[in-house]
Amino acid sequence: MKILTRKENLNNAIQQVQRAVSLKNPLPILAGIKFETRENQVLLTATDLDIGIRCSFPAEVIKEGTTVLPARYISELVKRLPDLPVYIESDPDSGSVKIQYGKSETRINGYPPEEFPELPLPEGIYTFTLPGDLLKEIIRQVVFATGNEESRPVFMGVLFEINGSELQVVATDTYRLAWRRVILENYKENDISLIIPGKTLNELLRIIGSNEQIEVTVTQNQILFVSGNVWLISRLIEGSFPKYKQVIPQDHILMVRLKTKDLLDATERASLLIQEKSPVIKLNIAENKLIVSAYSEAGRVHEELDVYQEGENLQIAFNAHYLGDVLKVIGSEEMTIELSGPLSPGVIKPVGNDEYLSLLLPVRLREE
């Protein structure tokens, strides 16, 4: 393989794909990035066998070929190269790769290309597109609620469920739940239900560009996202997602409306003094006032916020970190909290938007 390209193009492609590099896998080849030529392009590929990322960039292909280079070395080297054309030549006999820039050169020993796992692009059973900005918003609003226990893989994923033209996206770790609904335009396929790993969606957030249409292709056990010149392929999680609709309260005895930023700021200040082993803050709602309080060995916080209240007075406690996660992504200047009791889940919604909600289980207070 012999190619000539710009440092900027090469560096951008490496930064995209190296997120899928596996540094802990016992297979050494998975610590590498595969380079392969296609006419006037170079394709870079990396995978940890769960996620694969492929990125193309323009180059002058002098001689076609394939090589695999250790991600750790090639990424750090290219970042530090001067802003000059980069010439890359692989030696299939020795396995080394020569990288020239100006009058200087570096040689890196590569891996055997034949050992790199194949990463075929899936041919989809279902396909649809979403605006990149919308997909990023959806992911941010739900992915924080995924779990991290590998013994329960279903809770580590996000449910994407399409019925007709309606897409519902849900995540839960059993302590909290986030739900988002979107109407798909020009979707005419059958209804589908699939669970995408939260890790995949977090990587997708870093790939999606602004003002792009994201093409989504679904197969029986894989999903492919295409954003510009970047492809992200991921396995799907097998299993049945819990019946989330049954846990969302339909009635409430108290509703409060307030500015999102006011509660977020108060929650973050209270979080400064809470204990990590018990990150609890109390919300006491009465007479159109919401009192946020927390105490620990480090001190106490007591803040009073003006709210609009409908219903009974009530005191409830939440995990401060979980509450803060919701408030950061709710995407609305004003919000409501609906409560049906001190030990029942709280439902948080943006004002004037029925397409999103988040549910939080309360923390039982000691005096109760």
Angle at 170 between CA 168 and CA 176, to 5 degrees: 145
pLDDT band at 220 (very low <50, low <70, confident <90, very high): confident
pLDDT at 60 > cutoff 70? yes
* Average pLDDT, integer, range 110-114: 94
* Average pLDDT, integer, range 37-62: 95
What is the reported pLDDT for 334?
98
- pLDDT tens across 237-254, in order? 999 999 999 999 999 999
pLDDT at 105 > cutoff 70? yes
Q: What is the mean pLDDT of the chain?
A: 93
- pLDDT tens across 281-324, in order? 999 999 999 999 998 888 899 999 999 999 999 999 999 999 99
Greatest mean pLDDT among 68-72, 117-121, 183-187: 68-72
What is the reported pLDDT for 316?
96
Phi, psi dihedrals of residue 295, rounded to the nearest 5°? -150, 150
pLDDT at 368 > cutoff 50? no
pLDDT at 236 > cutoff 50? yes
pLDDT at 70 > cutoff 60? yes
Q: pTM score, two decimals?
A: 0.92
Closest CA to 68 of 99, 100, 40, 36: 36
Closest CA to 45 of 53, 90, 37: 53
Per-residue three-class SS string for 59-114: CEEEECCEEEEEHHHHHHHHHCCCCCEEEEEECCCCCEEEEEECCEEEEEECECHH
pLDDT at 212 > cutoff 70? yes
User: What percentage of the chain exceeds 70 in pLDDT?
Assistant: 98
pLDDT at 188 > cutoff 80? no
What is the reported pLDDT for 367?
56
What is the reported pLDDT for 109?
96
